[in-house]
């Protein structure tokens, strides 16, 4: 049974300093119940965001076949997604949000 993953994290230090934000996901299968949103609109400086797993075969975000994006990142300078799999999700352009293995 996958764990339920929600986006309820505060990154206020990075928002004021402009330091990169790295979100490390543990190995496991995570059910994405709704789109994970990271909105950096209040950042005083440009922020680079990295979402990193423990390997594409080890860290899995699964939308359970629902037609929504797994992740939206707003107002980041760059967004890097690596070492994880996003599956069974999508919108009008599923490949934009649901690459089988980054």
What would the mean pLDDT of 59-83 be, rounded to a whole number? 87
Whether residue 102 lies inside any domain: the answer is no
**What percent of the chain clears pLDDT 70, i.e. is strictly above it?**
72
Whether residue 37 lies inside any domain: the answer is yes
Domain hosting 41: range is: 3-97
47 contacts 76 by C-beta, under 8 angstroms: yes
- pTM comes to 0.72
Q: Which class for 15: exposed (0-12), middle (13-18), buried (19 or more C-beta within 10 A)?
A: middle
Average pLDDT along the chain: 76
For the chain, the domain total comes to 1
Distance CA 42, CA 44 (A): 6
What would the mean pLDDT of 24-36 be, rounded to a whole number? 88
Whether residue 93 lies inside any domain: the answer is yes
């Amino acid at each position: 049974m996958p764990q339920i993953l929600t986006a309820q994290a505060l990154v206020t230090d990075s928002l004021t300093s402009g330091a990169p934000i790295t979100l490390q996901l543990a190995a496991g299968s995570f059910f994405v119940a709704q789109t994970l949103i990271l909105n950096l609109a209040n950042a005083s400086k440009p922020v680079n965001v990295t979402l990193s797993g423990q390997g594409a075969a080890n860290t899995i975000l699964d939308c359970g076949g629902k037609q929504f994006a797994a992740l939206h990142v707003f107002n980041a300078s760059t967004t890097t997604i690596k070492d994880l799999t996003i599956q069974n999700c999508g919108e009008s352009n599923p490949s934009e949000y649901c690459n089988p293995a980054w």
